[in-house]
Structure 1
Amino acid sequence: MRDSHGIVTIDTGYQRPNFCAAYLIVERGRAAFVDCGTNRSVPRLLAALDAQGLSREAVDWLILTHVHLDHAGGAGSLMRALPNATLVVHPRGAPHMIDPAKLAAGATAVYGEAEFENSYGTLVPVPESRVTAAGDGRVVDLAGRPLLCADTPGHARHHLAVWDARSRSWFAGDIFGLSYREFDTARGAFAIPTTSPVQFDPEAMRASVRRLLGEAPEAVYVTHYGRVTDVQRLGADLIALVEATVAAARRLDGDGQRHARLVEALTRIYVERAQRHGVSDAQRAVPALLAMDIELNAQGLEVWLDREERGTRNEE
């Protein structure tokens, strides 16, 4: 369903329902997608166009918040179906859309060939002539509706958030955390940061969250999952959780069982915060719903710790 600002939330079907979203922005008969999910998601995005009475030719832009495969894995396939669209991506992400071989190799190494094929399929390159590298401050014009690209590192160094002045909203990808609707209570949404590998940077993440808050947004559209309001509270909570989880990771640095104990520590922190938020049966619900996120967040914190000790940073 399209809201009053012409924004459609699309469940990409990745992993489970209400887990991963892409967005369709409609303005005066023209359209832009923000993120696209995986190759398996493309039929859902095209169906969303059909539901809005829009042709494939009506799409002017595919804007990627970053090139992690749950956000961008289907970009090449989708672009083949959208003859007039230009792909907009952070300058650091553009080479990976033109030649996705490194993305495919990295994900295959993590998941194995069978799981990679099942979840993502074959990554399709996007012709360089159809890719625009958007630096900080680049404005994408959608039929007179400006969409401002903001460089927002912390989750990844190739991360953009998109400011839509019309709705006074950010399309935040992963920089404004994860907020699953199953954790909503009478107090509103509940969110945790995503500190997943390999480019988590706590200082940059806090700065990016504060940048989003600085626009006094009415809402934020996060990929995982949907539209959230009460943005100032959520932003403050995210910053506090970044600080709490970084402190936990530092305490465990050098521990021979660091990873397992960090998973336990993150679980305790999230359960405690969820209980404070009024989440029913948080002791069971948090590990059940956040198991994969907790594992990835622990890995990201460890990669960051190890990089900090070496005095290096991932520049890609």
Structure 2
Amino acid sequence: MLQILGQYPKSHNRFLLRSFHTNFNRFLDSANDQIVTIDTHYEDKRYRAASYLLKTVDNPKNVHGLLIDNNTNSCLDTILSSIDNNGISRSDIDYLIATHIHLDHAGCTSQLVKNLPNATVLVHPRGAKHLIDPTKLIRSASQVYGGMENFEKLYGKIEKIPKERVRSINDGETIDFGGRKLKFMHTRGHAKHHMVIHDSFSNAVFAGDSFGVRYPDLCPQKPDNMVLFPSTTPIDFEPELAIKALKDINGLFPKRIYLTHYGIIDDVQTATQNLIEGINSHWEILKDGKKTGLKGDKLYNWVKLKLNHWMVQFTRKQLGDNNKIDWSQLDLDIDLNSQGIAFCVEYK
């Protein structure tokens, strides 16, 4: 999800997090694969954004780690505590991997670099320069959120990262990591600077936003629901390439998918079908939007109405009419996806 570059009104709808009594371990437990799901409590809510801690598996007496995605500065203490609680020295975190540089995936990178002295940041070549010098990133975001003060309340201080701590990763590149072979694949559709990671040990793909969004708290009875939908936030939504990314990920034959938003997908085939349906539906709204001649707020409102209708129909098809649905879980994504589609209609 994109947290900068807004062209259209932002939704201010917020809700109080409600707890449900469900054994969630089946959905998050990856102990056998030595993968830890860290709930970053994005927006002060649970199960919205994850950071994944992967441990080396070749030498149990000398365990190192890496992190995939890291959300925002507000979760710094949470991530560091998880590293400590898993018995890994902070000096033994070798890599900080950002699937892409949107601030809900890479916003804590500069602060983690300060606290993890031997960690190298791995990022798509298009994103590296913006982590080394985030001036443009900060300027755009501060304009969207009403000035630097508001921006820092949301995301904290985004600082420069020393160039020598950042490494650009090419498409198809592999890295050996303590009994794991990590393969990186560039995946456009959501962002031009996006990549996914295949881990050979677990046969899993860490998909960032290339495999959509799913919120466990959408339906308390079904935290592992299959209400997966694409993230089409501004400005890089490319439906053809988003579908290609899904096919490329499936070509790796993964056993499971780790979503940043949120958790583990075991039924990869069903998830892929749902996502292709969602991408095509967003694409149809985009094409219909070009026929309207609308612009600005009127276009945004038209897109949002269409997208909200689709989301309700799609969600009910997946969950049925008898389950309790917390529709407020979808507010932010409907807003952002509407912005992204409207941007494409007006400017592409």
State TM-score, norm by structure 1: 0.92
Letter in 1 for 2:303: L
Letter in 2 for 1:34: I
Q: Is the 8 A contact 2:196 2:207 kept in 1?
A: yes
How far apart in 2 are the matches of 1:241 and 1:41?
31
How far apart in 2 are the matches of 1:96 and 1:281?
46
- Structure 1 segment 160-199 matched on structure 2, within 5 A: 160-183=195-218, 185=222, 188-199=225-236
- Structure 1 segment 204-219 matched on structure 2, within 5 A: 204-219=241-256
- Report 1 or 2 for greater relative contact order, CA contacts < 8 Å, sequence distance ≥ 6: 2
How far apart in 2 are the matches of 1:43 and 1:186?
26
Number of residue equivalences: 307
* Alignment-derived partner of residue 94 in structure 1: 128
* Alignment-derived partner of residue 47 in structure 1: 81
Q: Is the 8 A contact 1:271 1:283 kept in 2?
A: no
* Alignment-derived partner of residue 110 in structure 2: 76
Q: Is the 8 A contact 1:149 1:161 kept in 2?
A: yes
* Alignment-derived partner of residue 130 in structure 1: 165
Which one of 184, 190, 199 corresponds to residue 155 of structure 1? Answer: 190
Letter in 2 for 1:255: L
Q: Is the 8 A contact 1:183 1:189 kept in 2?
A: no
Q: Is the 8 A contact 2:216 2:225 kept in 1?
A: no
SS at structure 2 position matched to 1:212: helix
Which one of 45, 63, 74 corresponds to residue 97 of structure 2? Answer: 63
Q: 1:281 to 1:128 in 2, by over 3 A?
A: farther
SS at structure 2 position matched to 1:132: strand
Q: Deviations over 1:170-209 (max 9, x none)?
A: 1000111101112463984221100001111111111001
RMSD of aligned alpha carbons: 1.8
Question: Where do 5+ consecutive residues of structure 2 fail to align?
Answer: 1-28, 58-62
- Structure 1 segment 17-32 matched on structure 2, within 5 A: 17-28=46-57, 29-32=63-66
* Alignment-derived partner of residue 313 in structure 1: none
Question: Where do 5+ consecutive residues of structure 1 fail to align?
Answer: 309-316
How far apart in 2 are the matches of 1:285 and 1:181?
10
Q: Is the 8 A contact 2:190 2:237 kept in 1?
A: yes
Q: Deviations over 1:194-241 (max 9, x none)?
A: 000111111111100111112221111111111112111111111111
Query: 1:140 deviation in Å?
Result: 2.2
Identity fraction in percent: 35
Q: 1:245 to 1:14 in 2, by over 3 A?
A: same
State TM-score, norm by structure 2: 0.84
* Alignment-derived partner of residue 245 in structure 1: 282
Q: Is the 8 A contact 2:212 2:228 kept in 1?
A: yes
Query: 1:46 deviation in Å?
Result: 0.6
How far apart in 2 are the matches of 1:216 and 1:101?
39
